[in-house]
Structure 1
């Protein structure tokens, strides 16, 4: 990986208390960057911070990304303590495991609030700082589900697709001002995402999916992701052979893809 010009850069990661967020934090810290770790639970953020190289460079800011007041307070703390923001990693998210007919409207709205509106709010809060700097990177962790759509993930897929399109528009608007926008599409990655995925009534599923258990290791995902970002890639699909094949088919032959999805009964 390229390591030049990274030592003084500030990376703000949401959803940094576990899984993909934790793994990305470890990689960025190894590159010597300053990390802002945000998630709801301070105790878990402190646990992640203890795993990082150069701990004195990093700060933990507990944050509910659906709370606009907390976002503004966190932003002011970042600017006070670090003076700038070079990378915003919109990673916090909420998955789903329920059929459409079994999903309440409250659950539909909760998933969309976390996976779309909160990402937009975080980015809009940070954007004036990036524009003033005339530099910066905004990264959205979407999902292969946002490119394909499968059973049991309708709202999650819709939210992840929506943030992809919003990111495309943002990229077009700010590219000339020195701001780089990237979207990462993970396939199955070994995290606790399915433990916390919402069922139709809004409760956590509470157990791991077999596909997640057999997915890509989070540390390997993070290494591949950061490598691609440092190469200035904007559309980054990371996953196993099946996920990459599905993304390819979604472009070349959607009808074949959806026949395969119906047969597979993905859950």
Structure 2
């Protein structure tokens, strides 16, 4: 019996790596992509069935490479059922102090890189009359918060794009699941770029005390299996979505007092 195939970007660490291991354990063939090939090899060795995991290095900042990457990905296992857009970069800097080239870098990777890969594989999904896009957004893809202006903007953009794509390709049986994690125990804050583009190299307290990447991956697996349109993952920080939606004035006051960094 042929295994279903999931292709995961940003698979070298954090949520991507944990999700790769979860899908491998559940009987999927997994394509692991990121810029860090050595880290991908380590993730593959830790998967339940490493023989059914393939490595395909990919740089989201190189949109012109996406068509050839899709061709190679399809050849690895003969098909692709799910693309999990998980690669990206985060930010920790004030909007006023952040250089415009840093704003552009965040958008280029998080939004345009993801869209370039989507456009490259979409004709394949249309031709086979099935396909599933899962996208790692963030709670700040809905609410926004200080020190994350362009990161939040890039995630907001993903919501708009994929909500539209879902409606446009409903008749092609293409599914879209937008995943919004809150505080998850990963190095996302350590690797976040600052106002001049340099990494923060510091772990946020909220990140360190958040949900484990493994628990997050389990929820992602269930959400994708159930073909959820949106998935909110985290602890009490998830309540911020509902505060923003129903009592935005109160939410703004809470956000000012929270001093989120």
TM (norm. structure 2) is: 0.98
Select the residue among 203, 206, 219 that pairs with 1:211.
Answer: 206
8 Å contact 2:11–2:20 — kept in the other structure? yes
Quote how far apart the aligned CAs of 1:80 are.
1.8
Is 1:258 the counterpart of 2:260? The answer is: no
Kindly report which structure 2 residues correspond to 1:1-267, keeping only aligned pairs within 5 A, or say none.
Answer: 8-241=3-236, 243-267=237-261
Q: Could you tell me how far apart the structure 1 residues matched to 2:144 and 2:36 are?
A: 31
Q: Could you tell me how far apart the structure 2 residues matched to 1:106 and 1:68 are?
A: 17
Q: Could you tell me how far apart the structure 2 residues matched to 1:198 and 1:110 are?
A: 10
Runs of 4+ in 1 over 4 A off after TM superposition: none
Q: Could you tell me how far apart the structure 2 residues matched to 1:96 and 1:81 are?
A: 34
Q: Deviations over 1:99-133 (max 9, x none)?
A: 01110001000011111111111111111110011
Quote how far apart the aligned CAs of 1:69 are.
3.5
Q: Could you tell me how far apart the structure 2 residues matched to 1:232 and 1:16 are?
A: 21
SS of the residue corresponding to residue 50 of structure 1 reads helix
Quote how far apart the aligned CAs of 1:78 are.
1.4
Q: Could you tell me how far apart the structure 1 residues matched to 2:51 and 2:112 are?
A: 33
Quote how far apart the aligned CAs of 1:95 are.
0.4
Quote how far apart the aligned CAs of 1:68 are.
2.5
Quote how far apart the aligned CAs of 1:97 are.
0.4
Q: Could you tell me how far apart the structure 2 residues matched to 1:102 and 1:17 are?
A: 30
8 Å contact 1:84–1:129 — kept in the other structure? no
Q: Deviations over 1:35-69 (max 9, x none)?
A: 10000011000000000112111110111122123
Q: Could you tell me how far apart the structure 2 residues matched to 1:116 and 1:199 are?
A: 18
Q: Could you tell me how far apart the structure 1 residues matched to 2:115 and 2:21 are?
A: 25
8 Å contact 2:91–2:192 — kept in the other structure? yes
* Contiguous gaps of at least 5 residues in structure 2: none
Quote how far apart the aligned CAs of 1:239 are.
0.7
TM (norm. structure 1) is: 0.95
